[in-house]
Structure 1
Amino acid sequence: MIFKVLYQDTLTQQAKRETTKVIYVKANNESDARRLVEKNTKYNIEFVEEISGNHLKYEENEPGFKITKFN
């Protein structure tokens, strides 16, 4: 499954819509997606959402779409 993760750059930064960024990750479920990002970054995660079907097709057509892989 593909998950869209909305985040702020640092854990100390208060969430503001204007500075929210996004990454996409593959994971088995929402909890695994959140753990994967928490383990590999210092991001302040705002929201994790599974995307599929038409929503995924739409996101794939966006210029910045890329599935992030962590080592």
Structure 2
Amino acid sequence: MIYKVYYQETKERNPQRETTQSLYLEAETEVAARTLVEDNTDHNIEFIEPLEGNFLDYEQKNPEYHLTEFNK
């Protein structure tokens, strides 16, 4: 499944809506998606949203859409 992960660049500052960023990744579960991001970045995860159906189609039309892959 594809997940959209909303995050802040660093865990040192309080989250601010204006600086929230996102990435897309493929994982088996939401827990696996969180683990991938936590193990490979210093991001402060705000929310993880599963994408499927029309929601996924809409996101894929965004020019900034690309799946993030982490080296294992």
How would you bin the TM-score normalised by the shorter chain? over 0.9
State the TM-score, normalizing by the size of structure 1: 0.98
Shift of 1:43: 0.1
Partner of 2:6: 6
Shift of 1:23: 0.3
Partner of 2:46: 46
Percent sequence identity over matched residues? 49
Shift of 1:13: 1.8
The runs of 4+ residues in structure 1 deviating greater than 4 Å are none
- The residue correspondences of 1:15-54 to structure 2 (distance < 5 A) are 15-54=15-54
Aligned residues: CA RMSD: 0.5
Q: Distance in 2 between matches of 1:63 and 1:14?
A: 29
Q: Structure 2 unaligned runs (5+)?
A: none
Q: Distance in 2 between matches of 1:10 and 1:47?
A: 15
State the TM-score, normalizing by the size of structure 2: 0.96
Shift of 1:11: 0.9
Q: Structure 1 unaligned runs (5+)?
A: none
Count matched residues. Answer: 71
- The residue correspondences of 1:50-61 to structure 2 (distance < 5 A) are 50-61=50-61
